[in-house]
Amino acid sequence: MSQLTQKTEYTSPNRLVSLKVLVFLFFGALQCMYAFLPYHMQALGFKFSDIRFITLISALVSIIGPLIIGFILDRVSIKRPSAYGKWLRILLFIFFILAGLMFGSLLFFDKPPKFDEFDSKVTFSCNDNGGHIFVRRNITADGTCADLDGVNGELVLVNCSYTCETPEDFHNLFHPINSHKVIPDALITSDTSNLYSSENPSFEDDDYILPEPAQLVAEPTQPSIIPPPHICLRNATDYEHCHVYLENNVIHLLDMTGDKNEKVSNNYSDEWCMHPLVSTSCRIPEQQVKWMELIRGSRGCSTPAVECHIKDPFKPPSILNPINRIKAPVIELNLYITLRIIAELFPVIIHMLLNVAIIIATRETSVGRGNVGHQWAFYPIGVLVFASIIGLVNHLLPNDVEPYFVPIFTFAITMFICAVVVLFSGKLPLTPSDWWWHTKCGMLAIPMSALKRYKWVIAAIAIVAFILGGLWHAYEAFRHLFTIDLIESEIITVPNWRSKTFIYIFGAILSIPLIWNGEKIVDCFGHSNIFILAFVTLALRFAGLYFDVRTSWTTLYEILEPISFYLPWFTLILFTRHLIPKKCLAIGQGLLVILFFALGRAIGFFFGTSVVSDNKEFYKFEEDNKIAEEKDLKNIYTIAASIACASAIIYFVVYHCILLPRYRVPTNRLATNNDSSVSPQRVFHDERSRKGYFRY
């Protein structure tokens, strides 16, 4: 009767429902939230160097959490083994609450007003009457116009174009044929090879032929032959030097001086201040004026001009630096870093505690054991459900709701729900008998000296976990950059990054049956082959990004996610479970989580984003194609793929030439009872092992 009761305790699936719920809620919400944390930092005004620094520091500091809590749990297993389950539940409850509070508090940081690199509240304009800088009154502290008379400084001009509009209504009319139809014959075919040369800034209006309005009917076959904008400066000797703005060019005006015309500046309009500049002019080609008049029709073109955005308009040594403008509220970097460091401690601790809980709840007994794969399968199930819901909600919400709000808020609420689940999980079998702590798997004793005996195996697995974690997090740092949600791209014409979690669906769906039957798969193929295959698939994913970053292909790479992440991580847990003595269970799982999700995340994110500088809006969809095609990123892909390939080859050689021969199990394994009969290295490729024979 006692055996029947014990069997029911360990094999009844109802006993582990609360454990499945915890895995489902925690990992599903966590992975979706991590995808949006960099967006949240960018929205708070942090530069990308700050984002990289915060992620690196918080991941590195989180190492101490599993070490401290793991040591406490292992001491409990020695001093008070009968209270182990109680302590495990108490710690889970505390850290679920703290994780929800700390990450939820991130939403209380106020988002500062947006001040773009190319500030739309400031613009440069010039024509035959001279050059001017227009500044909105509402960005100055007192709403008045500053006196720039005699002020010297620099201007960095970008996005220059011909226009007829006032500063508040800037429209690019330099290339009207890109959006208006003209017949090919309307443009002359004369040689224009020197037209765009900065060494030949002079031009004659009569050289260019303008089509009549009735001819605006066909697609063009040649680019516009109207010369690009020329910005001319006159020095003290009346020598005129002209700067020619080419596409994607930057004009750096080093010595600019404000003119004395305060009356004009203050009385220009109720919304704008106009600051004249000394010795600046721009010539507008007559044909360009006629062209813009054709495009604008009855509105005409009374104020033709060259307009440019000003890059970093208020940073020294800009001529606008003396303006007393309203500063955008800046989030205190130290305060945010402190909060993030504290918050990042709890997910890795909870991850370690769940590993320990699953290992104990599915432990081997003389009458059977629970299935580890059935518990861990709720990891991809949670990712599938949360990624779908959060992605859909983000897609349907209006644009004034920040995309990061839903995943962070969802994670905080989910952590509180997990804490409630822990309170009602008293029937989970988390308190093994005292003798269990002194055995390998219920029968075969393994002493603490095994740490020394299997030191090279432990070192090999630690290195594998670290490299796999680093490579996977490096790919994760870029994943949102390459992938456009298929649902979103089908519904709207301009996809954005509001619902990037949809991309997790593909890998999660394929991972569910794989992890559900994970133990059988690992037994069949062997742990070493799975690690090697994981390295190979990561190399293929990075190589694929090197050759093609289009959405259709990068989405296809997601089918490799189960083999490059879910199954290797599951295998690492299984192998570590049987390699580390029970007295070091928590520390062993803590080290595994540290190597993969703390050190791996820190190094992987830093390495993967090392080529991204502050002047690139890395987390903006409109910049995705430009950044993804850059040479520096391709170098990252090459290095990452090379590391993955080299790791696969080295591990294959080390395992088959050194580790396997050294720890090989004798053929008559069951007939012996010495230390050589216990070989974790043979756990996952011994086809003769069967349940009930204590194969571990």
Residue 252's pLDDT is what? 72
Query: Strand 272-276 and strand 118-127: pairing?
Result: unpaired
Residue 203's pLDDT is what? 40
Residue 455's pLDDT is what? 81
Higher pLDDT, 160 or 385: 385
In DSSP terms, which residues pair with 318 in a beta bridge?
154
Higher pLDDT, 436 or 679: 436
**Residue range 393-421: mean pLDDT, rounded:** 90
**Residue range 400-406: mean pLDDT, rounded:** 84
Helix (H, G, I), strand (E, B) or coil at 490: helix
Helix (H, G, I), strand (E, B) or coil at 135: strand
170 burial type by CB count under 10 A (0-12 exposed, 13-18 middle, 19+ buried): middle
Task: Find all residues with CB under 8 Å of 315, minimum gap 6, and list them.
Answer: 321
Query: Strand 118-127 and strand 305-311: pairing?
Result: antiparallel
Higher pLDDT, 357 or 154: 357
Report the range out of 95-104, 272-281, 471-480 with the highest average pLDDT.
95-104
Q: Radius of gyration (Cα) for the chain, nearest Å?
A: 33
Task: Give the tokens for residue 253.
Answer: 């005006």
Task: Give the tokens for residue 685.
Answer: 């490729």
pLDDT confidence band for 439 (50 / 70 / 90):
low
C-alpha to C-alpha distance for 137 and 158, rounded to whole angstroms: 22
C-alpha to C-alpha distance for 143 and 150, rounded to whole angstroms: 21
Residue 545's pLDDT is what? 82
Does the pLDDT at position 51 exceed 70?
yes
Mean pLDDT of the chain: 75
0.85 cut: is pTM over it? no
Residue 267's pLDDT is what? 65
Token pair 């000296």: residue = 449
pLDDT, tens only, 380-390: 999 999 999 99
Report the range out of 106-110, 154-158, 317-321, 460-464 with the highest average pLDDT.
460-464
Residue 449's pLDDT is what? 54
Taken as a whole, the chain contains a residue count of 696
Does the pLDDT at position 661 exceed 80?
no
Domain ranges of the chain: 2-112+331-682, 118-311
277 burial type by CB count under 10 A (0-12 exposed, 13-18 middle, 19+ buried): buried
CATH top class, domain 2-112+331-682? mainly alpha
pLDDT confidence band for 14 (50 / 70 / 90):
very low
Residue 410's pLDDT is what? 96
Cβ neighbours around 507 below 10 Å, total? 22
What percent of the chain is predicted at pLDDT more than 70?
67
C-alpha to C-alpha distance for 274 and 472, rounded to whole angstroms: 53
Token pair 């208006």: residue = 180
Cβ neighbours around 609 below 10 Å, total? 23
Task: Give the tokens for residue 70.
Answer: 């793991």
Rounded to 5 degrees, φ, ψ at 331 are: -65, 135
Does the pLDDT at position 219 exceed 50?
no
Residue 487's pLDDT is what? 45
pLDDT, tens only, 91-129: 999 999 999 999 999 998 876 655 444 455 788 888 888
Eight-state DSSP code of residue 83: G
Residue 8's pLDDT is what? 42
Task: Find all residues with CB under 8 Å of 386, minimum gap 6, and list them.
Answer: 28, 29, 31, 32, 410, 501
Rounded to 5 degrees, φ, ψ at 162 are: -75, 145
